[in-house]
Amino acid sequence: MKKDKSYYLNKSFFITATNTDVGKTYACEKFLRFFHSLGLRVGYFKPCETGVITNPIDGSKMLNLVKELNPSFDVTLTDIVPYQFKLPAAPYVAKGETKIDIEFLKEKKAFLETMCDVLVIEGAGGLMVPVEKNLFIIDLIKEFESKAFLVTPSKLGCINDTLLSIEALKSRNIDFEFFINLYEDIDSFDEVSKPFLKEYFGSLNFLQDL
Taking alpha carbons only, the member of 9, 1, 18, 8 closest to residue 126 is: 18
3-state secondary structure of 48: strand
Residue 37 or residue 3, greater confidence = 37
Q: What integer is the mean pLDDT of 137-147?
A: 97
133 DSSP β-pair partners: none
Cα separation, 127 vs 140, whole angstroms: 9
Residue 178 CA neighbour count, 13 Å, CB half:
30
pLDDT in tens, 41-100: 999 999 999 999 999 999 999 999 999 999 999 999 999 999 999 999 999 999 999 999
> Residues 200, 206, 209, CA angle at the centre, nearest 5°?
140
Whole-model pTM: value is 0.96
Q: From the CB of residue 139, how many other CB atoms can be counted at a distance below 10 Å?
A: 18
Q: Tell which wins on pLDDT, 72 or 3.
A: 72
CA distance 42 to 67: 9
Domains and CATH numbers, the chain: 5-209 (3.40.50.300)
The reply, when asked if residue 39 is annotated as ligand binding, is: no
Backbone angles phi, psi at 194, to 5 degrees: -60, -40
* Residue 126 annotated as part of some ligand binding site: no
2, 3, 5, 46: the active-site residue: 46
Which pLDDT score, from 0 to 100, does residue 1 have? 77
Q: How far is CA 92 from CA 97, 98, 197, 208, in A?
A: 9, 9, 33, 32
152 annotated binding-site participant: no
Residue closest to 58 by CA, chosen among 74, 76, 42, 80:
80
pLDDT for the residue 142: 97
Q: Does 110 belong to an annotated binding site?
A: no
For residue 188, the SS3 value is helix
Q: Which residues pair with 122 in a beta bridge?
A: 15
30 included as an active-site residue: no
What amino acid occupies position 160? N
